[in-house]
Amino acid sequence: MSRQLISKLVALIAGIALILVAYNHNQSSIYLINGNAYGTTWSIKSSEYIGDHHKENIINIINRIDYVASNYKKDSEISMINQSKNNFHFVSNDLFKILSIAKEVEEKSLGFYNILLGKISSNLGFSPTFGNELVHKKNSSFKLDEKNQSLEKLSDNWFDLSSIAKGYAVQEIHHYLVKENLVNHLIDIGGEIIASGNNDDESWKIGIQNPFSILDDATIVIDNNLKFIAIASSGEYRNYISDKNGNKKTHTINPKTLKSIENEILSVSVISDISATYADAYATAFNAMGAELALSLANKEDIALMLIVNNSDNVEILYSNKWYDKNI
């Protein structure tokens, strides 16, 4: 599909969305399992049979990662580290992999991706404080020791893994399904998606929803061309709260200002042919840094990026050089 055709499609529908909706053309031949997790919903569709034991193992993966990365569980691994007075910790395999990717994206994104803003997020009301009086100190990072699988915090700032944990969970479920020879599947956890293989001899179709609509109508439909693709979205169109004065507070924090982001971006969509974890993290980084820098970095790192921006009340769609209709 050409960029010109996409632009014509977009022109028919005002605005763009953050939520990704999967489309199936032959529901009768698709196996579906679903549930609730991480404060959202999850679903897996496959043209191959998904047994009860598969569902049980998938739920175990979801729960395992929840007890590693959730800021809402006081006894999760990351919450225990946040509340600990020690800065040195041996960590689980899952947490080490999450932190390693987060560290890499932090460095490549010029610091616009930072998972140590948990105290700010909690103070804004996006996660619990567990009764603590939270004061975010000067931005800091962390060190990882691969040999000992350990973490060293460089301050008492809190981790917040909400921008990467769902992507990691999607990726882990994909690995499990592939090991079980279930290679044709569509995984969706709260809009973090992996499309793998085919949908009953057809490609999977994933639609980017119109954010101004209460219906699940799609503005752009992405075809995975029978390959692996991971899709992540970020934006504050629906993910915000208002304070007592009516001021909007968004979940994404700009690490440079330590405030909720304020820029022209309405939504970000990232496609990766490598990993849902990377797609998830980069979507947040691009959302925080603004359109011009995001496009520049996406082109430098060869990342497929689509931005929806509001310039003087005119909605525009901007693409990186690797957007899907050119290279995927």
Task: Give the CATH number, domain containing residue 125.
Answer: 1.10.3980
Q: Are residues 61 and 113 in the same domain?
A: no
Q: What per-residue confidence (pLDDT) applies to 89?
A: 97
The answer to whether residue 158 is domain-embedded is: no
Structure tokens at 169: 């969970």
Q: Are residues 176 and 58 in the same domain?
A: yes
Q: Are residues 190 and 245 in the same domain?
A: yes
Q: How confident is the model at residue 27 (pLDDT cuts 50, 70, 90)?
A: very low
Q: What per-residue confidence (pLDDT) applies to 178?
A: 97
Q: What is the pLDDT of residues 165-207, one digit of tens each?
A: 999 999 999 999 999 999 999 999 999 999 999 988 888 888 7
Q: Are residues 147 and 228 in the same domain?
A: no
> CA 269, 273, 274, 280: dihedral to nearest 10 degrees?
10
Q: Where are the beta strands (DSSP E) in the chain?
A: 20-23, 31-37, 40-46, 88-90, 142-145, 150-153, 185-189, 192-196, 205-209, 218-223, 229-234, 240-242, 248-250, 253-254, 259-260, 265-272, 304-311, 314-319
Q: How confident is the model at residue 244 (pLDDT cuts 50, 70, 90)?
A: low
Q: What per-residue confidence (pLDDT) applies to 282?
A: 97
Q: Are residues 100 and 224 in the same domain?
A: no
Tell me which of 87-101, 117-131, 307-321 is least confident: 117-131
* C-alpha 275, offset from chain centre: 11
Q: Is the pLDDT of residue 215 over 50?
A: no
Q: Is the pLDDT of residue 140 over 50?
A: yes
Q: Is the pLDDT of residue 299 over 70?
A: yes
Q: Is the pLDDT of residue 10 over 90?
A: no
Separation between Cα atoms, residue 161 and residue 71, nearest integer Å: 8
Tell me which of 9-13, 21-25, 89-93, 231-235 is least confident: 9-13
Average pLDDT of the residues in 90-114: 97
Q: How confident is the model at residue 159 (pLDDT cuts 50, 70, 90)?
A: very high
Q: Is the pLDDT of residue 256 over 90?
A: no
Average pLDDT of the residues in 227-236: 85
**What number of helices (H) and strands (E) belong to the chain?**
9, 18
Average pLDDT of the residues in 204-224: 63
The answer to whether residue 268 is domain-embedded is: yes
Q: What per-residue confidence (pLDDT) applies to 300?
A: 96
> Residue 124 belongs to what domain range?
73-153
CATH number at residue 207: 3.10.520.10
Number of domains in the chain: 2
Tell me which of 115-124, 161-170, 244-253 is least confident: 244-253
pLDDT-above-70 percentage for the chain: 78
Structure tokens at 305: 């990026």
Residue 96's CB: how many other CB atoms inside 10 A?
19
Q: Are residues 78 and 59 in the same domain?
A: no
Q: What per-residue confidence (pLDDT) applies to 138?
A: 75
Percent of residues in the chain assigned helix, strand, coil, to nearest 5 = 30, 25, 40
Average pLDDT of the residues in 145-174: 95
Write down which residue in 153, 187, 202 finishes a domain. Answer: 153
Q: What is the pTM of this model?
A: 0.85
Write down which residue in 153, 179, 198 finishes a domain. Answer: 153
